[in-house]
C-alpha cells in the first residue's frame, strides 16, 4: 500500500459531493462521449467535464 493520495490532475480538487457524482459525467469534447473523470469549474459557474484524453480542454473553463 502506498501513502500517496489519489491525484486527479494538477489543481483539480472536486468537492466530496461532486466526487460521488463523477461517474455520471460524460466528456464534453465534441464527438467523444467517454466517461469524464476530470471536472472543471469556477465558483458559481457551470461545471465542465472531460475524459483523460481531453482533460486539457477543460483548462479554458478555469
Ligand atoms: Zn473526451
> Which helix (H) or strand (E) segment is 17 a member of?
helix 16-19
CA of 48 to the centre of ligand 1 (A): 12
> Whole-prediction pTM value?
0.57
Residue labelled with grid coordinates 486539457? 56
Cα 7 to ligand 1 centroid, rounded to whole Å:
19
> What's the gap in Å between 1 CA and the centre of ligand 1?
31
pLDDT at 61: 87
pLDDT digits 0-9 by tens, 2-33: 676 666 666 656 665 555 454 678 999 999 99
Residue 47 CA to ligand 1 center (angstroms) comes to 15
Question: Where do runs of H (alpha helix) occur along the chain?
Answer: 16-19
Amino acid at each position: 500500500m502506498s501513502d500517496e493520495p489519489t491525484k486527479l490532475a494538477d489543481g483539480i480538487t472536486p468537492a466530496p459531493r461532486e466526487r460521488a457524482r463523477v461517474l455520471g459525467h460524460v466528456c464534453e469534447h465534441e464527438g467523444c462521449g467517454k466517461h469524464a473523470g476530470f471536472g472543471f469549474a469556477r465558483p458559481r459557474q457551470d461545471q465542465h467535464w472531460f475524459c483523460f484524453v481531453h482533460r486539457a480542454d477543460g483548462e479554458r473553463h478555469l
